Structure 1
């Protein structure tokens, strides 16, 4: 991003996973494999995944239906809810120590928003994690508003999810930046007229990333 462009930005929409909250895809993949799910690359792989994950992220199915889907995929009806949740939550690592401070500091300069593809099981785990680790109830204090896919019944990169955030907050797309670690999500953001940046650093380096792009 050029300095001139950065000067035009008044609003920043942040993704959550691997921008703010560290996640590890391989951890979840290994844990699901250990539950007995065969052909893990097609079920939950880098290039694609079973539709059950998208359905959970858009609230199309309940957490209970998701767990039943995992039992079916593992061909193991005896799997306990807790076992399934633990495997699925293996994806989640945590928020590096300095990241909340970075987000709070830039809130004075920009209107900031969170837009995350997540799901009921991960959302509940994250809320518990934030209470245990940072003594905060949620992410609301860090942003003007936080948006989660399972509550919006939409997920990125669907252009409608970006248009919803723009419309609800009267944002000017040309003055709005979206930051995500997934290139495919940037496509939908661009279709909505947003500026985009691909997060190519570890979440602990969020402050440095913003400095490099002349945003702070």
Structure 2
């Protein structure tokens, strides 16, 4: 829990993680909100890259290339390749997609190393509805590549289709190995240890009971 606590604490101090009442894209009112886009300094991105790198190495998953979905996945995938090289001497390639395909120059919808028929790890920040993940899966499958795993910073562990959490729904239907660095359970554990923030625990537990797995 130490490294998870470190990340949660850092995100809270940077105001990327907030507790209160927040309207989500799904229409649900959440007692917490995480915006990785606010972790935007050199120090921030170094930390994020390290967390992903450590998780990838610990997983022992075999892969050829990292893929970051536009837009938030782009700095994540770049930072992670740097961390893998600096801390594990592992020199890996990365790629990311454009929101719109370029019609001039090199053209196409992908930038970086070619992913055709390679083993790919997808890196994203938060999974709730799964829309971005599904889009990335489609892009990679069109390249006849194999998805080795999907890594996310935060798994909200909320119900999706067929009364499953979104992350399990994707995993069950496509047999993809999905790894989350922190979950709502980790957030609750963090709040328990902080007397100034533990007032938010009942709201998180209530939300988890209503929407969680």
TM range, normalised to the smaller chain? 0.3 to 0.5
**Structure with the higher fraction of residues in strand conformation:** 2
TM-score calculated relative to the size of structure 1: 0.38
**Structure with the higher fraction of residues in helix conformation:** 1
TM-score calculated relative to the size of structure 2: 0.39
Ranked by relative contact order (alpha carbons within 8 Å, sequence separation 6 or more), the top structure is 1
